[in-house]
Amino acid sequence: MSGGPAYVRVARLSEIAEGRSVRVKLGDDEIALWHVRGKLYAIGNVCSHQHFSELHRGILSGLTVACPMHGWTYSLETGIALSGSGRVGTYAVKVEGDDVYIEQPVRGSDQQWTR
């Protein structure tokens, strides 16, 4: 039994262009996976304002993303809303070769990734 966090493969690095995002699912969680300045950031895909599931299509500015629906802006590093209030979840990301993994929330380890 491993004492470390469990990670689940969710994407290939080669499929995520710099400055772009993809939507991935990890169990019931929708995640916006952003590739910014050579680093990957994973945040909850659902805006805390009106629960619009499109942050992966948001407007990127530095290390923030604005929801395309009403413009609420979130930090990719912390998930905290910089305009509006609230926050979205953040997920630890690691890359091994071309494989991208996200730390699995506390649930069973048999989840598969989908896009």
pLDDT tens-digit map of 27-52: 888 999 999 999 999 999 998 766 65
Residue 13 lies in a domain: yes
- Whether 115 is in a domain gets the answer no
> Is residue 1 one of the residues assigned to a domain?
no
| Residues 106/27, Cβ–Cβ less than 8 Å | no
Q: Provide the 8-state DSSP code for 5.
A: P
- Which residues, including other chains, have CB under 8 Å from residue 19's CB and lie 6 or more apart? 35, 36, 60
In a domain, 112, yes or no: no
Q: Is the pLDDT of residue 114 over 70?
A: no
Does 2 map to a domain?
no
Q: What single DSSP character describes residue 85?
A: S
Q: Whole-model pTM?
A: 0.85
Residue 11 lies in a domain: yes
Digit-coded pLDDT (tens) for 48-94: 766 657 899 999 999 999 999 888 899 999 999 998 788 999 999 99
Question: Does residue 114 sit within a domain?
Answer: no
Q: State the total domains in the chain.
A: 1
Would residue 63 count as lying in a domain?
Answer: yes
* Residues recorded for the chain: 115
Domain of residue 39, residue span: 7-106
3-26 residue pLDDT tens: 677 999 999 999 999 999 999 998
Tokens 């689940």, residue located: 8
CATH classification at residue 18: 2.102.10.10
